[in-house]
Structure 1
Amino acid sequence: MRRCKALLLAAALIGAAAEAQEAPRRVVSINLCTDQLAMLLAAPDQLHSVSFVALDRRASSMADEAQDYVINHGRAEEIYLMQPDLVLAGRYTARASVEALQNLGIPVVTFDIVSSMAGVRQSLLDMGAALGRDAAAQAMVADFDSRLAALQAEVIRRPRAALYYANGFTSGRASLAHEILTAAGFDNIALEAGYEQGGKLPLEILALAAPEAVITGQSYPGTSRAEAIMDHPVVRALRAEAQGAALTDADWVCGTPHVLRAIESLVPLRQSLERQ
């Protein structure tokens, strides 16, 4: 029995040593969402550089943390000179740079866009595997599941809400925004209006749907024809007449545990509507 335990312990130690040896030591991320996943899971000094977008507070939930890393602009030349042993990229991120780095023999791990809570869990596990941080990723997934379950535990009534963005776009199924909205206890009017997969929602249909809450994106500084529709008199009237209104922020952008903060931000609005 003792010999068996000793052999098992030795095997575990050898496995842990092999995992530590195989883990990349100098990692560069060139995508906003992999930036944040890596910042959450990387070991000290393992992550060397993140993309410049990680500094943008309108898109990044970890803009403060990003200041601790070297900033890159996703160009193959600058990434190559950093001498990484792993590059993290998104499915549609700087494809020319990704191909050039791969041709130079630098390993690149590509992550898909996350459109569900299940996708958040899988991205954490995938990042853990890429960084050799499986245990940390599993612990983070367990915490994510626990907090998500707590947020969904006390929904009494599901108010009807509209997601309305630049160019009149709305989000339907298979979108992270829809998952955040429904996890917070709302029903998405895009589905009842026939926009199952999202798309451009005419103002007339939005007005006829008469949502109880209207959730729009934050406008960027300056003027934009695409964003002007969010200030259209119809939308302003709906926001005034609807019993609740809210804005999306950086926590809605990437499939990371920060989506829990987006859900939490909607809970007081839902609770207020439930009481009315």
Structure 2
Amino acid sequence: MRRSEVICAGWITRLGALALAVLTAGRAVAQQEAPARVVSMNLCTDQLAMMLAGEGQLHSVSYIARDRRASAMAEEAEAYVTNHGLAEEIYLMQPDLVIAGEFSTQATTAMLKRLGIPVVVFPAASSLDDVRERITRMGAVLHRKDAAQDLVASYDRRLAALRAEVTERPSAVLYYANGYTSGENTLAGQILTAAGFGNAAVEAGYGSGMKLPLEVLAMTDPDAVITARPYPGASRSEEVMDHPAVRAFREARVGATMTDHDWVCGTPYVLRAIEGLGAARREITGSVE
């Protein structure tokens, strides 16, 4: 090989290494920059993103975010493009970040990843502490850490005030479609406890995701039965909540109805659920606190 050819090959090698270094550095910088066009495809991440995103940063939320029965921020969601969690639909939005929940369509998230779109998956919250963690994580994902810290501080202050010691804890049962109940290791169960109630189902030996027979419900004789709000349309699974025994508890005692949009997601709106139950507890105990 002639000397000129060796020199040329050497320069090509150096240029290639330089180009690779520039490309790697560019990717590192891009990863450090805040995402400018974000799509959320899960009801709970929708709401956290709407609370924390910067101006113009969040492009799309799931269509469920506009459902007033399920979403605590249905009105705010009107300001965003909606999506139905379809890979083709979301890809055409050209996002630089997609946020999903663990129960979001896995085929969609897998396809988006294969197409080179960053996807962050948030697990569902199962405790009041999880709410704090989800806020903090969303702040990190969106590069909005200061806003997240402020929201966490506000959440902690309000939760501490709502958890103020109560002198009397009436008993209550969470009762859903098909007779399911919730235990202590669930978001709903912790909302109940934070509001000052004792979970009668847990005391009877029924934990999370277990069916509580009507006979056991009657035998526990709770001070309150808390049921979910029925959805429009016929559903045999919800018929149990209209059973004469359940109606009798509602009429003779305090019967509270969950506003699903405040209970379902690990967001600061759980505080509103606690406030509502706190009012029901004070009605039972006659406390003014």
Instruction: Specify the code of the residue in structure 1 equivalent to 2:238.
Output: E
Partner of residue 97 from structure 1, selected from 104, 108, 118: 108
Q: Which amino acid aligns with 1:108?
A: V
CA contact (8 A) 2:181 2:207 kept: no
CA apart distance, 1:20: 11
Give the whole-Å Cα distance in 1 for the aligned partners of 2:132 and 2:189.
Answer: 17
Amino acid of the residue matched to residue 248 of structure 1? M
Q: 1:246 aligns with which of 245, 256, 259?
A: 256
**SS of 2:146 mapped into structure 1:** helix
Residue 115 of structure 1 deviates from its aligned partner by 0.8
Instruction: After TM superposition, give the deviation of residue 159 of structure 1 in Å.
Output: 0.7
Q: Distance in 1 between matches of 2:31 and 2:158?
A: 30
**2:101–2:124 Cα contact (<8 Å) kept:** yes
Matched, 1:195 2:206: yes
Alignment pair present for 1:47 and 2:58: yes
Partner-residue secondary structure (3-state), 1:200: coil
Q: Distance in 2 between matches of 1:47 and 1:163?
A: 35
1:210 aligns with 2:207: no
List per-residue Cα deviations over 1:115-154 (Å, max 9, x = no partner). 1111000000000000000111011001000000111114
| Equivalenced residues, count | 258
Return the letter of the residue paired with 1:26.
R
2:267 maps to which residue?
Answer: 256
Percentage of matched positions with identical amino acids: 60
Please say if residues 185 and 267 of structure 1, whose CA atoms lie closer than 8 Å, have aligned partners that are also in contact: yes
Tell whether 2:136 aligns with 1:150.
no
SS at match of 2:225: strand
How far has the Cα of 1:155 moved from its partner? 1.5
- Structure 2 residues without counterparts, runs of 5 or longer: 1-28
State the SS of the aligned residue for 1:170. coil
Instruction: Choose 1 or 2 for highest CA Rg.
Output: 2
Distance 1:28 1:253 in 2: 21
- Tell me how far 1:239 sits from its aligned partner: 1.5
Structure 2: distance between partners of 1:210 and 1:241: 11
TM-score (structure 2 length as normaliser) = 0.87
Deviation at 1:173, TM superposition (A): 2.1
Could you tell me how far 1:267 is from its partner in structure 2? Answer: 1.2
Select which of 94, 97, 122 maps to 2:133: 122
Name the CA distance, whole Å, in 2 between partners of 1:58 and 1:169.
Answer: 20
- The correspondence of residues 50-199 of structure 1 with structure 2, limited to 5 A, is 50-199=61-210
Give structure 1 stretches of 5+ with no counterpart.
Answer: 1-17
